[in-house]
Amino acid sequence: MNRMMHAVVVCAATLLSSSAVMGFSRGAPFASSGVPTDMAGRDCSACHRTFAPANSDARGKLTVILEAMTYRPGVKQTIRVRLEHPEARRWGFQMTARPTSDTTSMAGSFTPNENIVVNCDPSGAAPCGGSREFATHNVISSRNGTADGVTWEIEWTPPANEVGEVTLFVAGNAADGTGSNANDRIYTTTVKLSAEGACNLARRPTLRSLANAGSFSTTLAPNTFASVFGADFEVAGRSRAAGVGDFVNGAFPTQLACVAVEIGGRRAPISYVQSDQINFQVPALTQTGPLPVFIILNPGRPNELRSDQGTVTIAQYSPGWFTFSNRSIAATTADGRIVADAAVVAGGVAARRGDVITLYGTGFGFTDPVFQAGEIPTGVARLRDPITITVGGTMLAAGDILYAGLAPGLISGVYQFNIRIPMSATPGNVAIVATMGGVSTQTAGGTVPVQ
């Protein structure tokens, strides 16, 4: 009995020291991701030498797939590593993250899961307590017998404080699946991520004015897409547009590049920031009248900076057209060409009488269904309240306003109107005026060319 037990134990240990240790249960040996300061830049080709050095077989490919080339301090993100080769049948990888300025220290940490092992330098498994970490495959995610390629998903939590640019070092083994270190193709790559949201803005912001982003009216309505003007919103010369990587639950963020806008105590979604301008959307407020406004830098942090209080008047409607250079309403033909004087927008065309064109604007109030500011409607959301539209002074019949509501796929502050240009319109730059509750779109630039 004792002998048998012993025999079983020896057998397991043998397994562990051969295939299991290297290729399988605990992934690749630590410090083989190709970091120059780790064991003189060792990568998998130090042992998988048949086709050394790494990247010598051009038929294979190692890619790192990211939602954005940035990280936010302390905010976990998913990194995808894809390895492909036409002949390989088993797959392995290793990845580590280092501050570019000091590749001897770890940047953040990886989370192990059923497909991903995290090894520490020089030994042990995560949590690594601040020592260098290596995310790697295990026996399951080496997908023995799988052809063409595999993708691993790795959860990475960046450092809590920004450390400047971070470099991801990745190595991959497109192996032949025979369980040895021969006949395997090795690939290496690096990717650099810049820090986002460091929040070290040092100057107190000055708020000067707010305006409808289309008409420049200073009275704003709920959900209006608007701009605030002033100074020191951002470091001079730096600008930041919200991208998909910034979205929070599928909506525009209420903090972008360490800047927030607060109206009537509510945070507004932001789409763009530069030192003297912020583009944002008024929250779906139900109160009207004057409301306090603040610009807040480094929001919620010990170094938070608030502007003096400003005031904005909120009304039910603030209808305005978006324009091309304040000279022509932002409009397109049914087949997607820009309607504008070619002198204003190169390639612009005039609308034809009888055509249906689409106009874009903001400030037209609530819709059905209601969208919160920052959300992105995917389908139809018509205006809740009545609107009239005149073209060249002639009131459009209800049947010639084919759609009046939010523009699907865009931030919920962008409205679109599909209207038919009357046959009676006089060719030239024709004024189009939309009116809600007695408030009309702007006159300056509120025209479209008609032929």
Q: What minimum distance in Å lies between the beta carbon of 59 and ligand HEC?
A: 17
Torsion-angle region of 326 (φ positive above 0: left; ψ -120 to 50: alpha; else: beta): left
What is the sign, positive or negative, of the torsion defined by CA atoms of 389, 395, 398, 401? Answer: negative
Residue placing its CB nearer to ligand HEC in the complex, 18 or 451: 18
Is the separation of the CB atoms in 293 and 210 below 8 Å?
Answer: yes
Residue placing its CB nearer to ligand HEC in the complex, 54 or 381: 54
Residue placing its CB nearer to ligand HEC in the complex, 92 or 158: 92
Instruction: Give the C-alpha separation, 355 to 419, whole Å.
Output: 8
Q: What minimum distance in Å lies between the beta carbon of 177 and ligand HEC?
A: 5
Residue placing its CB nearer to ligand HEC in the complex, 10 or 202: 10
Q: What minimum distance in Å lies between the beta carbon of 179 and ligand HEC?
A: 5
Half-sphere exposure of 337 (CA within 13 A, CB side): 14
Q: What minimum distance in Å lies between the beta carbon of 56 and ligand HEC?
A: 15
Q: What minimum distance in Å lies between the beta carbon of 178 and ligand HEC?
A: 5
Instruction: Give the C-alpha separation, 165 to 100, whole Å.
Output: 6
Structure tokens that stand for 258 in this block = 């360490």
Q: What minimum distance in Å lies between the beta carbon of 150 and ligand HEC?
A: 11
Residue placing its CB nearer to ligand HEC in the complex, 156 or 415: 156
Terminal C-alpha separation, the chain: 99
Query: Distances from the Cα of 302 to the Cαs of 124, 199, 257, 297, in angstroms?
Result: 37, 10, 16, 11
Instruction: Give the C-alpha separation, 266 to 292, whole Å.
Output: 10
Nearest residue to 121 (alpha-carbon basis) of 132, 112, 130, 129: 132
User: Which residue ranges make up the site for ligand HEC (CB under 6 A)?
Assistant: 18-19, 21-23, 28-29, 32, 44, 46-48, 90, 92-94, 142, 171-173, 175-181, 184
Residue placing its CB nearer to ligand HEC in the complex, 50 or 309: 50
Torsion-angle region of 57 (φ positive above 0: left; ψ -120 to 50: alpha; else: beta): beta
Query: Distances from the Cα of 149 to the Cαs of 1, 87, 140, 251, in angstroms?
Result: 46, 9, 14, 34
Q: What minimum distance in Å lies between the beta carbon of 194 and ligand HEC?
A: 26
Q: What minimum distance in Å lies between the beta carbon of 170 and ligand HEC?
A: 9
CA 419, 420, 426 angle in degrees (round to 5)? 120
Residue placing its CB nearer to ligand HEC in the complex, 34 or 108: 34
Residue placing its CB nearer to ligand HEC in the complex, 142 or 223: 142
